Amino acid sequence: MKINIIKKSDNELKIELVGSTHSICNLLQKRLLDDKTVEFAGYDLPHPLASSPVIYVRMKGTAKPEEALIRAVEKVRETNDAFSKELERVLKA
């Protein structure tokens, strides 16, 4: 996956996820919205065959959008690990 920064300022970040789909964008958006320092988070995917999704993050106060995005990715990773372990446990039973 390739990531392009479209806009970056002190409190906003807009990135394009080339080759991605709704799946990763939904996960990231949900985790970003769980973060109390995030004012707004969303994504846009006009057409999956013609464009790549763009994720938007706007922060409250002096919080950095890059840090919020990294925290969101870490939470997604933790959720994925927990799901994998539980799935393995259930399938072995």
Is residue 93 very low, low, confident or very high in pLDDT (cuts 50, 70, 90)?
A: confident
Q: What is the pLDDT of residues 26-76, one digit of tens each?
A: 999 999 999 999 999 999 998 877 789 999 999 999 999 999 999 999 999
**DSSP annotation string for 4-31:** EEEEE-SSEEEEEEET--HHHHHHHHHH
Domains in the chain, CATH or no CATH each: 2-92 (3.30.1360.10)
Buried-exposed string 41-79: b where 16+ CB fall within 10 A, e elsewhere = bebebeeeeeebbbbbbbbeeebebeebbebbeebeeee
At residue 50, the pLDDT reads 76
How confident is the model over 21-37, as pLDDT tens digits?
Answer: 888 999 999 999 999 99
